[in-house]
Amino acid sequence: MQADASSKISLAFDVKNYESMSTTVDNKEIKYRAFEYIPYVANPIDIDQQYMNIYVPEEYFNNGTVNGYNTQTAPIFMPNTVGGYMPSQAMTPKVENGKPNSVVYALARGYVVASPATRGRTNKASDGNFIGKAPAVIVDLQAATAYLHANDSTMPGNANRIITNGTSAGGAVSLLQGAAGNSSDFQPYLQALGAATAATNVYAVSAYAPITNLDAADMAYEWSYNGVTSSNKVSMSHDDMAYSNLLKEHFPEYVNNLQLHDSVGRVLKLDKNGNGTFKNYVKEFIVAAANKAQAKGTDLSKHTYLVRDNKTGTIKDINWEAYNQFVSRSKAPGAFDSRSNDSGENNLFGTSTTDNNHFTITAALHDTTSNPEAYVQNAKVVTMMNPMNYLGSPAATNAQFYRIRYGTADSNTSVAIPLIVGTRAQNLGYKVDMATPFDVNHSGDYDLDELFNWIDNIVK
Ligand code: DHB
């Protein structure tokens, strides 16, 4: 729905506009005030997508404290529900099968919660034009963040302690919020929407299975899965295999140019065959995850790619090819920028009148459709969707803390991708907690106790 141009939307937080609610977790009642469907821009393009839900522990209206926080100091947890770069709705507190979702968890820990809805790649206006193509999702998240900063003095919670959270495409945009804070690249878009004139940076980022760094992700995917020439999701032609080889061959140069290093300063490189310290580094994360699972008593017998130390029984290596065969590919070569220009990501980089576009030169050159000219109209938009372009940039305010998870059973992107982004942040001196939980597939919010322990730790 498009907003009525004559309607006047205020961006001042209205503390009186709430409903009292409560939910019970572990026999403990959690009381909170719900401020729902709060528009975060004055001139929305789509009022059904550009709003957020805000939840505040009831105690903060009675001078109370929760978990050591008060109305001034409470962190603001900012989860999105973006999936597949599609339109997303704001979260609500839910307890399902006795399991609280992240909103309830956050409230129980005394956080204020601000969950924005966002536009996504399939949103259309009444005239049929697309209104949620890139960079709409990050513009909306930044507009919501600006609302929180602009209202910091009247709204409970501390806008200097915003922690974003998301899974998959949502994890990607969570990272992007962390990296691209206050970048002027987004200002024209924010101004057009009538966003609050305020900061857009956040304090910390949580990202599960981030499908990010999209313009490098095709190469990384083939570095991982080049040897997987058939899977139950993909059947590959000779042409696909040749394209896989080409993408894989491009990856070492990409990685080497990043000049990443590990936590003790070793340079992370790949030779032309894709072997070297970077590969060993990626393997070390998987080995560490396997050892952690083994220590917990997990049966690892089906994971025949694990290489054990004969004496101690600990896992010391993985057979890389066997590991990737075990996980298997879920996408054909051109996993993100598909040569047939029909992936979700191609759809993300459409324009108001073009549904799908290529966004890498390589895919455009190898296009298999009858319209090889379909290339992203404004290449700047591709850079604006990639946190790698903002991490370390003096023109952005980067978050100081990053928690990144990518399960070892997930093949939605290469495991290299989240590790590259996290390692870049770490190399810049930010605090990064990065892991590849063992045998975890494409999912998020599966370790909320640990997530909120991490947040408490970095906030307090
Ligand atoms: C998501 C999954 C993908 O495989 C992808 O390419 C993009 C997004 C998701 O689950 O959000």
Q: Is the pLDDT of residue 321 over 90?
A: yes
DSSP strands (E only) in 226-308: 306-308
At 280, the pLDDT band (50, 70, 90 cuts) reads very high
Length of the chain: 460
Region 230-240: mean pLDDT is 93
What CA–CA distance (Å, rounded) separates 408 from 229? 20
Q: Is the pLDDT of residue 446 over 60?
A: yes
DSSP for 323-373, please give it. HHHHH--SS-SSSSS-TTS-SHHHHHT--SS-S--B-SHHHHHT--SS-TT
What CA–CA distance (Å, rounded) separates 120 from 166? 15
Q: Is the whole model's pTM more than 0.90, yes or no?
A: yes
Distance 136 CA to ligand 1 centre (A): 17
CB–CB of 129/352 below 8 Å? yes
DSSP strands (E only) in 168-314: 204-208, 306-308
List pLDDT tens digits, range 380-402: 999 999 999 999 999 999 999 99
Q: List the residue whose alpha carbon is closest to atom 3 of ligand 1.
A: 412
Distance 342 CA to ligand 1 centre (A): 14
The angle at the Cα of 340, spanning 383 to 342, to the nearest 5 degrees, equals 65
What CA–CA distance (Å, rounded) separates 390 from 276? 27
Q: Is the pLDDT of residue 14 over 80?
A: yes
What's the pLDDT score for residue 350? 98
> CB atoms < 10 A from the CB of 269, how many?
18
CB–CB of 210/216 below 8 Å? no
- Give residue for tokens 């560490």: 288
| Residue 116 CB contacts under 8 Å (≥ 6 apart), including other chains | 40, 51, 52, 78, 80, 90, 140, 141, 144
What's the pLDDT score for residue 389? 98
Q: Is the pLDDT of residue 3 over 60?
A: no
Which numbered atom of ligand 1 lies nearest the CA of 442? 10
Q: SS3 of 55, please?
A: strand
Q: What is the ipTM of this complex?
A: 0.98
- Give residue for tokens 């989860």: 79
List pLDDT tens digits, range 53-84: 999 999 999 999 999 999 999 999 999 999 99
Pocket mutation for ligand 1, best pick of 327, 359, 412 (most atoms within 8 Å of C-beta): 412
